[in-house]
Amino acid sequence: MSIYWITALGTSASCFLFKYLGHSVPESWLAHPRVQRINLLIPVALLSALVAIQTFTDKTKIVVDHRMAGVSFAIAAFIAKLPFPIAVFGAAVVSALVYRFA
């Protein structure tokens, strides 16, 4: 099986497992404030790391290129409270323009 299918099915299985377990355990199990707190913070850490890696790396090298222009546009768009699709597809347009003309 290719890495793509393994990733697709493995991610699906693990995500479903968490959803299903949550429906099947007593509510008190996960009520500890520490669990709740860390659970809210995990996405913040992972998503911030993903922004960094996807914007500034190529394989294992740190690079600054056209993607930074696109992501900067997205950040400005979110600050300006523009809707998600406009921010994200706008970022793609800005990045493509810099890629082509810079």
Partner 1 sequence: MSVKRDSLSLSFAVGVYGAAFGAASVAAHFSVLQTCAISLLTFSGASQFAAVGVVGAGGGAFSAIATGALLGTRNGLYAVRMAPLLNVRGVKRIIAAQITIDESTGVALAQNNEDDSKIGFWWTGFGVFIFWNIFTLLGAISAGLLKDPAAYGLDALVPAAFVGLVWPRLTGKRSYYLAILAFIFALSLAPIVPAGVPIIATSLLAAFVGWRA
Q: Which of residues 35-64 bind partner 1 (CB under 8 A)?
A: 35-57, 59-62
DSSP3 helix / strand / coil % (the chain, rounded to 5): 80, 5, 15
Using CB under 8 A as the binding rule, whether residue 99 contacts partner 1 is answered as: yes
Residue-by-residue DSSP string for 12-43: HHHHHHHHHHHHHS-GGGG--HHHHHHHHHHH
Task: State the nearest-atom distance from the C-beta of 96 to partner 1, in Å.
Answer: 4
State which of positions 70-89 bind partner 1 (CB under 8 A). Answer: 70-71, 73-75, 78, 83-85, 87-89
Number of residues that bind partner 1 (CB under 8 A): 77
